[in-house]
Amino acid sequence: MSHTSKVIKVEPLLNGLLAVTVRCCGDPKTDSVLTLHELQREDAAIDADITAHQARIEKLHGDSQRAKAHVERLLGK
């Protein structure tokens, strides 16, 4: 299964910090918050941080589903 995440919320925390919430496959259990700092950076650098966070969340969601399926197979043994 291909996993796709997207930014669902952006909130200011303190001056110079933003909380960016990412969700994978529309599943609220996958919500993960990235705290962005150094906001004076180029947009491309901020985008790179968000893209890297999304990739981590997508991989974690896939790994979690795979591990759950593996353990559930063991239940019948």
User: 4: which residues sit within 8 A by CB, 6+ positions away?
Assistant: 24, 25, 58
Q: Could you tell me the pTM of the whole model?
A: 0.90
User: 57: which residues sit within 8 A by CB, 6+ positions away?
Assistant: 5, 22, 23, 24, 30, 32
- Name the CA radius of gyration of the chain, rounded: 16
Residue 18, φ and ψ in degrees, nearest 5: -125, 140
pLDDT on residue 77 = 65
| pLDDT tens for each residue of the chain, 77 residues long | 699 999 999 999 999 999 999 999 999 999 999 999 999 999 999 999 999 999 999 999 999 999 999 999 888 76
